[in-house]
């Protein structure tokens, strides 16, 4: 299974991450560092996000930490292209 990974670095609580998808549905997970390690090792993990059926989604960090975005098609067919960015503070 192909997984797209974006390392977002350290972000404060409440930062918004925007993910854009082209080509179909995908599972989008916003994960802190420890949950990302669990995700990679097929262990139980907690995340923000889930199945995304629209072309764009914004997710908010729940606490200050090192954050990651993963995008996969587990249980889905097709392919998807993606971009992810942290929305700048205004």
pLDDT digits (tens), the chain, 90 positions: 689 999 999 999 999 999 999 998 999 999 999 999 999 999 999 999 999 999 999 999 999 999 999 999 987 888 899 999 999 987
CATH number at residue 58: 2.60.290
Q: Answer yes or no: are the C-beta atoms of 50 and 37 closer than 8 Å.
A: no
The number of distinct structural domains making up the chain is 1
Helix (H) or strand (E) holding 37: helix 33-40
CA distance 53 to 61: 21
Residues 6+ apart with CB under 8 A from 51: 25, 26, 27
Could you report the per-residue pLDDT of 49-59, keeping only the tens digit for each? 999 999 999 99
Range of the domain at 82: 3-86
Calpha distance 52→87 (Å, rounded): 19
The pTM assigned to this predicted structure is 0.93
């Amino acid at each position: 299974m192909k997984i797209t990974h974006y390392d977002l670095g350290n972000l404060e609580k409440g930062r918004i991450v925007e993910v854009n998808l082209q080509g179909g549905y995908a599972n989008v997970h916003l994960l802190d560092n420890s949950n990302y390690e669990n995700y990679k090792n097929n262990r139980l993990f907690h995340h923000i996000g889930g199945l995304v059926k629209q072309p764009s989604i914004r997710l908010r960090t729940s606490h200050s930490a090192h954050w990651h975005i993963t995008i996969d098609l587990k249980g889905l067919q097709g392919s998807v292209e993606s971009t992810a960015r942290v929305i700048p503070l205004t």
